[in-house]
Amino acid sequence: MHAAKLSKSERLIRVLALLKDRRWHSTWEIMQKARVCAVNSIAAELRANGKAIVCKQRYTGRAMVWEYRLG
């Protein structure tokens, strides 16, 4: 995979800014607030840029939700 450089990618910068509060954020929330798609790919790119991104699944009672945070 080719990862964008954090310093040159507005989408990576927006997602990292959202995750800096170190709280859990759902895929949907990240997509809406950071105006991005493919959150799992962005998480992989942030990891390739040295950022510790933690991911987990949570069952809401209706669906499985993926959540991300800065580790």
Give CA separation, 48 vs 16, 55, 69, in Å.
Answer: 13, 15, 15
Segment 20-64, tens digit of pLDDT: 999 999 999 999 999 999 999 999 999 999 999 999 999 999 999
Segment 19-32, tens digit of pLDDT: 999 999 999 999 99
Q: Which residues pair with 58 in a beta bridge?
A: 65
Whether the per-residue pLDDT at 1 is higher than 90: the answer is no
Q: Return the HEC string of 35-58.
A: CCCCHHHHHHHHHHCCCCEEEEEE
* Model pTM score: 0.92
What's the sign of the alpha-carbon dihedral 34, 52, 40, 63?
Answer: negative
What's the sign of the alpha-carbon dihedral 12, 18, 22, 27?
Answer: negative
